[in-house]
Amino acid sequence: MGGRINFSLVTLKKLKEKYDNIHLISFNLDDYMAKTPLEYWYHCNGWRDGPFHVSHLSDGLLFLTLHKYGGYYFDLGVISVRPVTDLRNFVAAESDDYLGSGVLHADFKNPVMELAVKDFAANYRSDVWGHNCPALLRFQFLKNWCKAQDLLEMNYVSCHEFNVLHYSSFCPVYYSVATKEFFIHRLANQSLPAWLTDQVVGVNTWNKLTYNKPIYKNSTHRYTLLARNLCPSIFAIAPEIF
């Protein structure tokens, strides 16, 4: 069962007052999985016994939701820089040779998402955190779809109207230097970083690796600078440490 949403939360009320396109729903997972390629996996695979079961359930729901309804998906660690509505049917590369699934869009009934759901169920592994979602779109899956051997060969034509965006679009900072880049103190009145170019649509701050880093609203961390400038309404209602 999906948990109940507490609509009385002050933060949620403020967000809904500011953004009229926020809609929160709860649903029954049994019903959501029924008659989908994930129904057998959900009831019979034993994924609940794995060490990453919560994360893997989220991964499966990501692909299933995009397959069912289409739409945009962004990891919680992605800070939006500019609108993305002119970008459709894409996955963002994380480096020159790695495709994650932290940033995705698919139109309703896009065949790539249907194949992703089926591949998730068929090749699921409970013992490896990154096998099922981040790595699922990495090589073999899209190699087969695009008939390509590497990322350089994957484009809108070869991938049948599905785009592979360059890593500079959403991952201008490599994951291995994320902590140093986003969470060290800097001089006051710092300017925006040089990597924040016109090609950047969003900034992945790699939440999996940095979620335990406290953010102080009055700090000179680069994360704080980005949040203050790019997400002013949310930053205003955030607590002093978030």
Kindly report, residue by residue over 172-227, the tens digit of the pLDDT: 999 999 999 999 988 887 778 899 999 999 999 999 889 899 989 999 999 999 99
Handedness of CA 21, 206, 203, 105 (dihedral sign): negative
- Give CA 162 to chain center in angstroms: 17
Q: What percent of the chain has pLDDT over 70?
A: 94
- CA distances to 17, 92, 165, 178, 226 from 201, rounded to whole Å, are 25, 10, 10, 17, 13
Residue 5 within a domain: no
The mean-pLDDT minimum among 22-26, 112-116, 207-211 falls in: 22-26
Reading the block at residue 240, the tokens are 């002093």
Task: State how many domains the chain has.
Answer: 1
CB atoms within 10 A of CB 96: 10
Say which residue the tokens 């990322």 belong to.
Answer: 151
Q: Establish if 1 belongs to a structural domain.
A: no
- Read off the pTM: 0.88
Three-state SS sequence of 93-110: EEECCEEEEEEEEECCCC
**Domain limits at 75?**
10-237
In a domain, 3, yes or no: no
- State the amino acid at position 164 in one-letter form: V
Residue 168: which of 237, 93, 66 has the closest Cα? Answer: 93
Bridge-based pairing state of the strands 71-74 and 78-80? unpaired
**pLDDT at residue 7 in the model:** 67
Assigned domain for 199 exists: yes
Across all residues in the chain, what is the average pLDDT? 88
Residues 78 and 204 sit within 8 Å (Cβ to Cβ): yes
Is there a domain that residue 126 lies in?
A: yes
Between the alpha carbon of residue 137 and those of residues 10, 155, 168, the distances in Å are: 38, 14, 18
Q: Residue 242 domain-assigned?
A: no
> Alpha-carbon distance 194 to 175, whole Å?
17
pLDDT at 153: 80
| 2 within domain boundaries | no
Which residue stretches of the chain are H helix?
10-18, 29-33, 39-44, 53-69, 111-122, 140-146, 178-182, 207-210, 222-230, 232-237
Whether the predicted pLDDT of 138 surpasses 70? no
d(CA 170, CA 92): 7
**Between these two residues, 35 and 145, which has the higher pLDDT value?**
35
Residue 92: DSSP 8-state: E
175 part of a folded domain: yes
